[in-house]
Structure 1
Amino acid sequence: MTEEIISRATLASLSNRIWMLEQEKEVRACIQRYMALCDVLDVGFDLSLLMDLFTEDAVWQGVGKRYQKTFGAYEGKEAIAKMFEKYTVPPAHFALNSHFLTNEFINVAEKTADGTWLLLQTATFHDGRSQLSSAKLTVKFSLEKEQWKIKYFQTESLFNRPMDTPWDVDKDLPTPNK
């Protein structure tokens, strides 16, 4: 009898741990999808793809001395879409945009999750200027109909470094013996 109870308890514990790991993977996939879509924001971009990642009552917020002024805060999916819409009309804002996430921490509860990441962004604007930026992301997620969605997205600037030339220069890469 004791072995059966221990086995049921062990099985339940393992099942819960597997569920938590699977949910952590899905949360990670949500933020990675968000970043991948932000990398291709361009004239004519279908914003519904990005907005599908947010809850109806989501908040998107820039904080700190630089991002509070630059981005501000938006409450609700519709307001967030309007903020992103300015990146989808001519002229194109970005010629190149790449987001890199690191230093990840994800905590999953039953129907909510929290995550923090460090972001590095390399961007070249349509006028040829470039920028290297880093930010701390604090994101809260909500599980809706078996899908993790962003409920709260906060970005706080750590540093920004303007560059006078584009990141991508059309020159051959150096290789051995060339």
Structure 2
Amino acid sequence: MTADLAVRVGRIEARDAVRRLKAAYMQGLDDRRRGAVADLFWEDAVWEALPDRVPEGVPAAPGGAGRIVGRAAIAASFEDAAARMGFTAHFLTNEDVTVDGDRAVGRWKLLQTCTAGDTAFWQAGVYVDDFECRDGEWRFAHLRLALDFRTPYPDGWAATRMWDLPERVR
């Protein structure tokens, strides 16, 4: 294998590792394994909500903190969010992952359905994440979430989980 080909294959494998890491993060949140999801972060990692895209008066991050530093604090924040949000389903699109050696940056658009108590709501935004590979293992170094909106869904899946289509539509 030529040196150029080895670099290209390494970049492809790194992008795949980053994709799997982001998927494990999303699925772990939805499966309510919130504290364990923090294991996907380096010990000195940062979880940050970017306030410039969050509408005024909306809590920016889990637990209301805008910047959470360290794996233990991130785990506690996720546990707090799980206690308040009984249901989440994360959907990501528009992926863009750029790898530069042992570092990578990933960008995704987020659409999320959530339930807090009896209230269903939507939120959407953008993730911009920094990843690092240390001793052959990829983890989150700095996760940033910028919300574009968070809005209640009045009837929602909390009140009407399954809706029977009218006979003429079936």
**TM-score by shorter chain over 0.5:** yes
Query: Equivalent residue for 1:72?
Result: 66
Query: Equivalent residue for 1:5?
Result: none
Residue 96 of structure 1 deviates from its aligned partner by 2.6
- Runs of 4+ aligned residues of structure 1 deviating over 6 Å after TM superposition are 174-177
Query: Equivalent residue for 2:161?
Result: 169
Q: Map of 1:92-111 to 2, 5 A cutoff?
A: 92-111=83-102
The question of whether the paired residues in 2 share the 8 Å contact of 1:128 and 1:165 is answered with: no
Distance 1:111 1:177, change over 3 A: closer
Q: Give the SS at the match of 1:52.
A: helix
Which residue of 19, 22, 36 maps to 1:31? 22
Per the normalisation by structure 1, the TM-score is: 0.80
The question of whether the paired residues in 2 share the 8 Å contact of 1:142 and 1:149 is answered with: yes
Q: Deviations over 1:109-128 (max 9, x none)?
A: 11111111111101122x32
Taking only aligned residues, the RMSD between alpha carbons, in angstroms, comes to 2.3
Residue 162 of structure 1 deviates from its aligned partner by 1.1
Which residue of 138, 146, 151 maps to 1:156? 146
Give the stretch that moved more between structures: 103-112 or 162-171.
162-171
Q: Give the SS at the match of 1:28.
A: helix
Q: Deviations over 1:60-108 (max 9, x none)?
A: 11112535474411111111112112135xxx43343110111111111
The question of whether the paired residues in 1 share the 8 Å contact of 2:40 and 2:140 is answered with: yes
Residue 176 of structure 1 deviates from its aligned partner by 8.1
Structure 2 gap ranges (5+): none
The question of whether the paired residues in 1 share the 8 Å contact of 2:34 and 2:79 is answered with: no
The question of whether the paired residues in 2 share the 8 Å contact of 1:128 and 1:166 is answered with: no
Residue 135 of structure 1 deviates from its aligned partner by 1.0
| Pairs aligned (count) | 161
Q: Distance in 1 between matches of 2:44 and 2:9?
A: 30
Q: Give the SS at the match of 1:86.
A: helix
Distance 1:101 1:177, change over 3 A: closer
Residue 177 of structure 1 deviates from its aligned partner by 8.2
- Tell me the percent identity: 30
Query: Equivalent residue for 2:111?
Result: 120
Structure 1 gap ranges (5+): 1-7
Q: Distance in 2 between matches of 1:103 and 1:171?
A: 30
Per the normalisation by structure 2, the TM-score is: 0.83
